[in-house]
Homo-oligomer: A and B are copies of this chain.
Amino acid sequence: MVVGIIGLGLIGGSMAIDLRRRKFADRIVGTDLDNVNAAAALKIGLVDELVPEDECVAKSDIIIVAVPVSAAVKVVCRTLDRFQDEGWTDKVVMDVCSTKEQIAKATMYHACRKQYVATHPMAGTEYSGPWAAMPNLFDSKVCIIADQEESSPKAVEEVVKLYDALNMRIGYMSVSSHDVHTAYVSHLSHVVSFALANTVLDKEKDEKHIFDLASSGFSSTARLAKSNADMWTPIFIQNKENIVRVTDAFIQKVQEFRDAIDAMDETAIRSLIDEANRIKRIIK
């Protein structure tokens, strides 16, 4: 099996590591628009060969599109066009993006739609680039396959085998419910961390030593604020409607806390905290 990876960053690179050592891929070819990233990916050994995008598609049985979601929409469509032009009916293309609606819309009426599988492996770190790639990144995490009925059973089966090799637990979901869920449990956390970082960094302009007291609590809450703009700007834009709605709900919750504290209403504060403590059931 030849695997082609378009976008050799954290996700593409980490997939390369495990797909190779777990013998899913006999050969991995890849491409990245950024020359430094591409050269590093080759030097680190993530790919066997660097090739242009069209050659990557031509040489591979399965093509993983692991670029920011704004670019992914174009790359997936271009790849499906190529399948159609060349009459390649056995190849499969998949993306790994965190919002799915725009790719779903863009591919909906494509003659080769069935050869595309929409996936979202829910794994990552706050770092990016091929140097952030690591083994075992996906182990035991959840991967969503979205709108599976739009893909051919054979294409889905190939992709499931790939995620099995990555030790992921697979869930199925519609594109629209995927985008609502990720707004809540992933995208909102990023908005919150970015805003928290900006609040304290702003204060630092007057108070040089504000971070001297930063505890591990702050580091944990603000960790995602290190995430990069190339990836997150298009996610925020493409999942705009859900994220705005969820952020409004969050502002409301912060306001409740703020008002209870302002009123020094011990009962209200205690009950808001007790309610939040129910998260123990979810996160270990």
Contact = CB atoms under 8 A, between A and B. Distances in A.
A215 B123 contact: yes
Contacts of A213: 122, 142, 144, 171, 178, 181-182, 185-186
A283 interface: yes
A132 interface: no
B196 A250 contact: yes
B250 A215 contact: no
Taking residues whose C-beta sits less than 8 angstroms from the other chain, chain A's interface range is 35 or more
Interface in A95-144: 122-126, 141-142, 144
Interface string A267-284: 001101111111110111
Interface of A is mostly: helix
A141 B266 CA distance: 31
Contacts of A248: 258
A262 B240 contact: yes
A229 interface: yes
Contacts of A185: 200, 210-211, 213-215, 218
Number of copies: 2
Contacts of A250: 195-196, 199, 254
Contacts of A194: 257, 272-273, 276
Interface stretch (A10-18, A57-65, A230-238): A230-238
A218 to B, nearest CB: 5
A163 to B, nearest CB: 15
A219 interface: yes
The 10 closest A-B pairs by CB, nearest first: A229-B273, A194-B276, A195-B253, A197-B279, A189-B221, A197-B276, A219-B283, A225-B276, A195-B254, A185-B214
Given A194-B257, A199-B249, A229-B277, 17 more contacts: A144-B213, A171-B213, A184-B199, A185-B215, A185-B218, A189-B218, A191-B257, A191-B258, A194-B276, A201-B276, A201-B279, A220-B221, A221-B221, A233-B266, A233-B270, A244-B261, A254-B254
A244 B255 CA distance: 10
Contacts of A201: 275-276, 278-279
